[in-house]
């Protein structure tokens, strides 16, 4: 499952293969429809915007699942409610370990971000569904949301003047003010690089996982044909546990770095930097 800016991927079924196509991709519901009804306007629209379509599909599934499981909350959690409460408590501890107690207000944002990315990463394991996070358009959109949220946190908690003063390098003397033309572009560039690095890291890792699955499925089909089997050899099952682990890790890394950026944008994060103190927890490592 490839980003839109990559060459058109190669379907693993040999019937639709083309010599110039080199990137394998597992077929999904939309690509199958586009091959059979490529002249239909609705199908053409779905094929053009298949990544946003699958992203919205996963968002609806997550929203419905959470709403259904938390619609009738019980004093003593059971079943799905117990799972979601354990997740909420773990996410609360995770965020506060990086941002401190003041970071509890960001738990809903980080928790939603993790769940959404995690389910999108795993959706590629479902036959007929595509991982929208394998597209740079999707991951860049998520990173821009994080960028906007971080800037809002910085301005709302520090104030506009103090935020601009920080971007200018926090000058306190004539030498510091003289370095503003150098420090200001560097700080702005650093802020802009963050969403780019977030999107590239997530997008290409999920893309690599999907390509690996497509290659193994293609090899399994070829092995089945070679052995005259009615079905292919399920070679992809051997890497499914790795895909589960890597998909979870990528969602966790994206959420971790987003939390670190929020911590650094808050006043206490700037205080640590200006006084030479190290942020506690994982922020200390990611900040460096």
Per-residue pLDDT, averaged over 240-260, amounts to 94
Q: What is the pLDDT of residue 238?
A: 87
**pLDDT, tens digit, 9 for 90 and up, residues 138-170:** 999 999 999 999 999 999 988 888 888 888 888
164 found inside a domain: yes
Residue 222 pLDDT exceeds 60: yes
Residue 253 pLDDT exceeds 90: yes
Kindly report the CA angle at 258 between 256 and 263, in degrees rounded to 5? 95
List Cα–Cα distances, 36 to 29, 39, 51, 53, 141, in angstroms: 11, 9, 19, 19, 31
23 found inside a domain: yes
Percent of the chain at pLDDT > 70 equals 85
**pLDDT, tens digit, 9 for 90 and up, residues 185-211:** 888 898 899 999 999 999 999 999 988
Residue 5 pLDDT exceeds 70: no
Place of tokens 């003041």: 102
Residue 89 pLDDT exceeds 80: yes
Residue 61, domain extent: 10-287
Q: What is the pLDDT of residue 11?
A: 42
Percent of the chain at pLDDT > 90 equals 35
5 found inside a domain: no
145 found inside a domain: yes
What is the Cα gyration radius of the chain? 23
3 found inside a domain: no
1 found inside a domain: no
Distance separating alpha carbons of residues 29 and 239, to the nearest angstrom: 23
Q: What is the pLDDT of residue 21?
A: 53
Residue 108 pLDDT exceeds 70: yes
Q: What is the pLDDT of residue 285?
A: 43
Mean pLDDT of the chain: 82
- DSSP labels, the chain: ---TTSPPPEESSGGG--TT--SEE--BHHHHHHHHSTT-HHHHHHHHTHHHHHHHHHHHHHHHHHHHHTSS--SS--HHHHHHHHHHHHHHHHHHHHH-GGGGGGHHHHHHHHHHHHHHHHGGGSTB---GGGSHHHHHHHHHHHHHHHHHHHHHHH-HHHHHHHHTT---SHHHHHTHHHHHHHHHHHHHHHHHHHHHHHHHHHHHHHHHHHHHHHHHHHHHHHTT-SS---GGGGTHHHHHHHHHHHHHHHHHHHHHHHHHHSHHHHHHHHTTPPPSTHHHHHH-
Per-residue pLDDT, averaged over 82-111, amounts to 89
Choice between 2 and 256, residue whose per-residue pLDDT is larger? 256
User: How many structural domains compose the chain?
Assistant: 1
Residues composing the chain = 288
Per-residue pLDDT, averaged over 215-222, amounts to 87
Q: What is the pLDDT of residue 100?
A: 86
Choice between 219 and 73, residue whose per-residue pLDDT is larger? 219
196 found inside a domain: yes
Choice among 27-31, 180-184, 199-203, 281-285 with the minimum mean pLDDT: 281-285
pLDDT band with cut points at 50, 70 and 90 for residue 229:
confident
Q: What is the pLDDT of residue 268?
A: 59
The helix/strand/coil state of 125 is: helix
Choice between 260 and 282, residue whose per-residue pLDDT is larger? 260
pLDDT band with cut points at 50, 70 and 90 for residue 270:
very low
Choice between 6 and 52, residue whose per-residue pLDDT is larger? 52
218 found inside a domain: yes
**pLDDT, tens digit, 9 for 90 and up, residues 41-86:** 888 888 889 999 999 999 999 899 888 877 777 777 777 778 888 8
């Amino acid at each position: 499952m490839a980003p839109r800016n990559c060459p058109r991927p190669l379907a693993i079924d040999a019937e639709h293969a083309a010599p110039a196509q080199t990137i394998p991709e597992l077929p999904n519901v939309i690509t199958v429809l586009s091959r059979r009804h490529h002249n239909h306007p609705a199908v053409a629209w779905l094929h053009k915007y298949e990544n946003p379509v699958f992203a919205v599909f996963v968002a609806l599934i997550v929203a419905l699942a959470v709403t259904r499981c938390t619609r009738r909350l019980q004093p003593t959690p059971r079943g799905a409610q117990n799972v979601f409460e354990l997740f909420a408590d773990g996410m609360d501890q995770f965020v506060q370990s990086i941002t401190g107690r003041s970071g509890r207000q960001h738990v809903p944002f980080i928790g939603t971000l993790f769940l959404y990315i995690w389910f999108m990463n795993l959706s590629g394991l479902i036959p007929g569904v595509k991982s929208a996070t394998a597209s740079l358009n999707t991951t860049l959109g998520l990173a821009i949301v994080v960028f906007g949220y971080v800037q809002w946190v910085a301005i709302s908690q520090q104030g506009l003047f103090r935020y601009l003063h920080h971007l200018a390098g926090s000058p306190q003397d004539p030498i510091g003010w003289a370095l503003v033309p150098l420090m200001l572009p560097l700080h702005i560039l650093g802020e802009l690089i963050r969403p780019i690095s977030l999107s590239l890291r997530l997008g290409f890792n999920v893309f690599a996982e999907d390509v690996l699955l497509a290659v193994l499925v293609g090899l399994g089909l070829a092995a089945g044909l070679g052995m005259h089997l009615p079905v292919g050899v399920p070679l992809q099952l051997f890497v499914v546990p790795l895909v589960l682990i890597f998909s979870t890790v990528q969602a966790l890394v994206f959420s971790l770095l987003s939390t670190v950026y929020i911590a650094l944008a808050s006043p206490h994060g700037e205080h640590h930097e200006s006084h030479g103190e190290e942020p506690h927890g994982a922020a200390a490592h990611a900040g460096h």
